[in-house]
């Protein structure tokens, strides 16, 4: 059937069909990408909502302080690293090595790289993570835990 068409018309027709297929592929890819992003956003929002639930009153992190810069604590444990910002009113305490003593309050500026700590975490509605309580555990040394 295409034998009866002139060559320039055949070439133009093939070009238009190819262009239509290209646009169809591009737009279907964009739509599919938006659908995947929508599902990921919904899952992220559900996860944040679950982590902020009253059923999970305390989330915590444990590790060795790699560095402290301003209110940012870089925490490292078992090869994983995470940056966590301490709230301005975060309480900081140190556990005693004696079993009969209560933890004592210390200044945030007393935190040092190498300290092992637990952080009590707060998750904001937008997913940001903050530490509102920091406990230093001086009896834990670098034991490859």
Q: Are residues 15 and 64 in the same domain?
A: no
Domain count, the chain: 2
Q: Are 75 and 115 in contact (CB under 8 A)?
A: no
Give tens-digit pLDDT for 43-86.
777 777 777 777 776 788 999 999 999 999 999 999 999 999 99
Same domain, 47 and 64: no
- What is the pTM for the complete model shown? 0.64
The parent domain of residue 47 ranges over: 2-51
Residues 65 and 131 reside in one and the same domain: yes
Predicted local confidence at residue 6, as pLDDT = 58
Q: What is the phi-psi region of residue 137: left when phi exceeds 0, alpha when psi lies from -120 to 50, beta otherwise? A: beta
Tens digits of residue pLDDT in 122-137: 888 888 889 999 999 9
Q: Which CATH number does the domain housing residue 96 bear? A: 2.40.50.320
**Rounded Cα distance, 44 and 3, in Å:** 57
Judgement on whether residues 11 and 37 belong to the same structural domain of the protein: yes
Q: Which residue has the tokens 């133009």?
A: 12
Residue 144 in any domain: the answer is: no
Higher pLDDT, 96 or 107: 107
pLDDT at position 136, please? 93
Looking at the fold, whether 122 and 106 belong to one and the same domain comes out as yes
């Amino acid at each position: 059937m295409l034998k009866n068409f002139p060559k320039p018309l055949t070439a133009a027709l093939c070009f238009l069909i190819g262009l239509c297929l290209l646009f169809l592929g591009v737009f279907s890819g964009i739509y599919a990408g938006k659908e995947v992003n929508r599902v990921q956003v919904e899952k992220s929002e559900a996860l944040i909502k679950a982590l902020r639930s009253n059923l999970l009153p305390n989330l915590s992190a444990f590790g060795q302080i790699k560095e402290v810069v301003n209110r940012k604590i870089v925490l490292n444990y078992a090869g994983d690293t995470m940056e966590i910002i301490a709230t301005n009113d975060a309480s900081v305490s140190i556990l005693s090595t004696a079993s009969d003593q209560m933890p004592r309050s210390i200044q945030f500026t007393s935190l040092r790289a190498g300290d092992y700590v637990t952080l009590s975490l707060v998750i904001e509605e937008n997913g940001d993570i903050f530490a509102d309580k920091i406990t230093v555990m001086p009896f834990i040394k670098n034991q490859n835990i």
